[in-house]
Amino acid sequence: MAWKWQAKKRNRIILTVVCFLITFFFFFPILWWFLCSLKPYGDIFHLPPIFIFKPTLTWYQVVLGGVFYQSTELAQTGAITGEGGGLYYSIPYLRDSTIIATVSTALVIAIASLAAYGLSRFNFRRRENLVFWILSTRMMPPIVAALPFYLMYLNIQNMFRSNPNMPTFLRNFQMIDTYHGIIILHTIMNLPLAILMLKSFFDDVPRELDEATLVDGGNRLHAFWIVLHYIRPGLAATAILSFIFSWNEFLLTLVLTKGGVRTMPVAASTFITAYGVEWGYLAALGSAAMVPVFIFILLVQQHLVRGLTLGAVKG
Amino acid sequence: MAQTSVASIGKARVQRTAKKRGILSIERPVIWLLPAVVSLFLFSIFPLFFNLYRSFFRFDPSTKVFLPIGTRNWTELIQDPRVHNSLWVTLQYTTIALVIELVLGMVIALLFDQEPLGLPVLTSVIILPMVVPPAVTGLIFQLLEHSEFGVLSWVLYGLGLLQPSEPLLGGTGRHALMGVLFADIWQWTPFMILIFSAGLKALPPEPLEAALVDGASAWQRFWFVIVPLLRPVIAIAILVRLIDLYRVFDYIYLMTAGGPGRATEVISYYTYTQAFGFTKWGYASALGMFILILINLIAIVGTKVLKVEW
C-alpha cells in the first residue's frame, strides 16, 4: 500500500538504501561466520575486521574431509593447540542429524496429514477444544518434557536389562543415545505445528471435492488421497519446516544423547573446549550445516508465515 | 438444480455409510486422529503427571531410588533465592526482547511495505537468521561479542558505549543479559517483520485511503488505522514470541552458561542444572511443574488480554 510521499523518485531511492542497510545488518553475522570459515587462523582474530584475505579451505578439509587436525593445527598456528582429540571430523554428526531429521519428518507428515484431514473434514463435538489442545502442546517447554522422558527412557532400558525373561538380543535394548529415542521426541515435538499447518491447507480445499469422490463410489481414503494431491505445495512446506526444526533442535538431543549419537548443534557445542573455542572448525561446521537449511527455506518462503503462526496468519 | 440434487444424494449416502460402520470406521474421525492424539498425549499429559508425581520425591544418587518426602520440594522451591533470581532474569529477558523485536519488526515491516526496489531479494535475505540453528547463533554471537576480538564488541568500544573492562560476555556480568539478547533479537526480529509484512499486505486499502483524504498524519494513520486493523496479527505474533522467549535455553547454555554468577540464569537453565548437573530429579520435577503452571497462566491470560483467535 503505497503512501503519497513515495511518488517522488528521490524518496524511493533513499528508502531502498535504508532497507538494504537494515537487511545487511541482519545478514552480517551470517556473512561474518562464513568468512571466518575461510580465513587463515590469524585473520579470524584480526581487528579492525578484515574482509579481504587469502581464503583457505583448511577448516573444511578437517571438518568435512577428514584431514588429520593436528597437521592443520601445526600449519596454521605453528603449534598444536587443539586438545579436542581430533573430534572435529563432522560428517558423522551431519549424518546423524540427517537421519533423525528425515525419519522424524516422514513420521510427522504421515501422522499429521491423517489428523489434519480428520480435523478439517469431520464435524464432531468439541472439535475446537481438540484443536486448542493440540495448539497448547506446542507451548510445552522442552526442558519440562526432557525430564520425564529421560527418566522414562532409563526405566525402559532397565526393564530390559534386569529382566531374565527377555530374549538375549533384547537385553541390550537402549533408548538413550539412540536414533529411535531422539526420533520419537522430535516427531512428537513437530506434530502440533504440522497438524495445524496442514489443517489450514486442507481447509483451503472445498469439501465438495471429497463429497464428489464419495458419490463416485470411492471411500474416505480415496478422497484423502485426492485432497492430498491438491495440497502438495503445503505438504512440502510443512515437511521442510519440520525438517528444519528437527535439524536445529538442541536441548532434547543434548540431554538424551551421550556421544553415541550426536547431532550437528550438539556437536558444535562440544567444540568449546577448556583450551578455548576452535573458531575455524566451528565456523566451517556451522556454515556447512546452514547451507541446506537456507536452500530449503527459500524454496518454501511463501508458506513460512503460515507455518510460524501455526496456520493462524496466511502469508 | 441438477448439481444440488447430486450433492444432496451424495450427502445422504455419506451419512448412511457412516452409520453402517463402527466407531473405528474410516468414515469417522476417531481413526484419523488417534495416532496424533496418542503421541501428543505422551508429550503433554504424561510429563504433566510425571512431573507432579516426582515432585513429591527426592532422588538419592547413591542408592538410585526415589524417596517420598511430601511437599518439601515445593516449600524449598518457594524459598529458593535462585528461583526468584531466575524468574526475575526470565522476566527481564522476555520483556526486553519482546518489546525490541516488536518495535523493530513493525518499523522494518512498514519500511518494506513502502515497496523499496529489490524487495523480493530483501525479504529472502532477511528471513535467513530465523533458520540458523539457535545453537550456532549462540556461537556466532559469542564470536561477535568476544571481549578481545569480537567485531560487535570492537564497534561498541569504538562508539564508547562499552568499556573493555566491562565486556558484553564475562566480566562482572552487568551486560551479559544484553549480550544474550543481541542474539535473540537478531534471530527473531525477522519473525516479526515477516508476519507484519504479511499482515500489512493483506490490509484492505479503503480505510487508509479514507484517512489520507481526511488529511491524517503518518503517525495518525499508523496508530488509528493500521494498528487496529493489524491487531489480530500483532496479537498472534506477541503470543508466539512470548511463549518461545519464556522457554529460552540454547543461547544461555552456549553463550554464558547462566553466568557470570547468576546474571543470565533463566528458569529453563536453572532447571537443567538441577536435573542434569546435580541429579536432583525430584526438585527439578517440581521446577518443571512450576514452569508448566506459569506458561499455562501466561497463555491463558495472554489469549484473553490479546483476544487471540486462532
Across the interface, do B35 and A114 touch by the CB < 8 Å criterion? yes
Can you tell me which residue has the cell 529489490?
A: B118
Distance, in Å, from the CA atom of A197 to the CA atom of A199, rounded to the nearest integer, reads 5
DSSP class of residue A300? T
pLDDT score for A105: 95
Chain A residues touching B151 at Cβ < 8 A = 32, 47, 49
Cis (ω within 30 of 0) for the bond into B228? no
Chain A residues touching B271 at Cβ < 8 A = 143-144, 147
Shortest alpha-carbon distance between residue B32 and chain A (Å): 5
Max CA-CA distance within chain B? 83
Q: What is the mean pLDDT of chain A?
A: 83
pLDDT score for B186: 95
pLDDT score for A2: 46
**Across the strands, what pairs with B66?**
B59
| Distance, CA of A58 to chain centre | 27
Task: Please state the ipTM of this predicted complex.
Answer: 0.85
What is the tens place of the pLDDT at every residue in B69-84? 888 888 888 888 899 9
3-state secondary structure of A277: strand
Residue B16 at interface with chain A, using a CB cutoff of 8 Å: no
3-state secondary structure of B166: coil
Question: Taking residues A283-307, what's their average pLDDT?
Answer: 87
Q: Which residues contact B36 (CB under 8 A, 6 or more apart)?
A: A111, A112, A114, A115, A134, A191, A195
What is the tens place of the pLDDT at every residue in A69-113? 666 666 666 555 555 455 778 888 889 999 999 999 999 999 999
Distance, in Å, from the CA atom of B70 to the CA atom of B47, rounded to the nearest integer, reads 19
pLDDT score for B1: 39
Across the interface, do A315 and B200 touch by the CB < 8 Å criterion? no
Crossing angle between the packed helical segments A279-299 and A9-36, to the nearest 10 degrees: 130
What is the tens place of the pLDDT at every residue in A40-72? 777 777 777 777 777 777 788 777 877 766 666
| Distance, CA of A289 to chain centre | 10
Q: Which helix (H) or strand (E) element contains residue B58? A: strand B57-60
pLDDT score for A23: 93
The grid coordinates listed for B213 are 483524504
Distance, in Å, from the CA atom of A179 to the CA atom of B310, rounded to the nearest integer, reads 34
pLDDT score for B189: 94
What is the tens place of the pLDDT at every residue in B83-128? 999 999 999 999 999 999 999 999 999 998 888 888 889 988 998 9
pLDDT score for B193: 92
Distance, in Å, from the CA atom of B184 to the CA atom of B89, rounded to the nearest integer, reads 15
Which of A2, A131, A133 lies nearest to residue B114, judging by beta carbons?
Answer: A2
Handedness of CA B94, B96, B97, B103 (dihedral sign): positive
| Chain A interface disruption, residue of B13, B26, B33, most A CBs within 10 A | B33
Residue B148 at interface with chain A, using a CB cutoff of 8 Å: yes
Choice between A219 and A80, residue whose per-residue pLDDT is larger: A219
What are the distances in angstroms from CA B16 to CA A207, A217, A219, B9, B21? 18, 13, 13, 11, 9
Question: Taking residues A114-124, what's their average pLDDT?
Answer: 87
| Chain A interface disruption, residue of B143, B156, B301, most A CBs within 10 A | B143
Alpha helices in A122-256 (DSSP H): 127-137, 142-161, 179-204, 208-215, 220-230, 232-248, 251-256
pTM confidence score: 0.87
Across the interface, do B139 and A286 touch by the CB < 8 Å criterion? yes
Max CA-CA distance within chain A? 83
The grid coordinates listed for A10 are 528521490
Q: Which residues contact B136 (CB under 8 A, 6 or more apart)?
A: A33, A265, A268, A286, A289, A290
Residue in chain A closest to B209 (alpha carbons) equals: A3
Strand-strand pairing, A276-277 and B65-68: unpaired
Across the interface, do A313 and B284 touch by the CB < 8 Å criterion? no
Of the candidates A136, A127, A140, the one whose C-alpha atom is nearest the C-alpha of residue A199 is A127
Question: Taking residues A287-295, what's their average pLDDT?
Answer: 89
Can you tell me which residue has the cell 546452514?
A: A290
What is the tens place of the pLDDT at every residue in B275-307? 888 888 888 889 988 998 898 888 888 888 887
Q: Which residues contact A17 (CB under 8 A, 6 or more apart)?
A: none
Backbone angles phi, psi at A122, to 5 degrees: -110, 140
3-state secondary structure of B57: strand
Which of B14, B122, B198 lies nearest to residue A305, judging by beta carbons?
Answer: B198
Residue in chain A closest to B203 (alpha carbons) equals: A1
Across the interface, do B117 and A23 touch by the CB < 8 Å criterion? no
Across the interface, do B112 and A19 touch by the CB < 8 Å criterion? yes
Residue pair B249/B42 in contact by the 8 Å Cβ criterion: no
The grid coordinates listed for B250 are 540454547
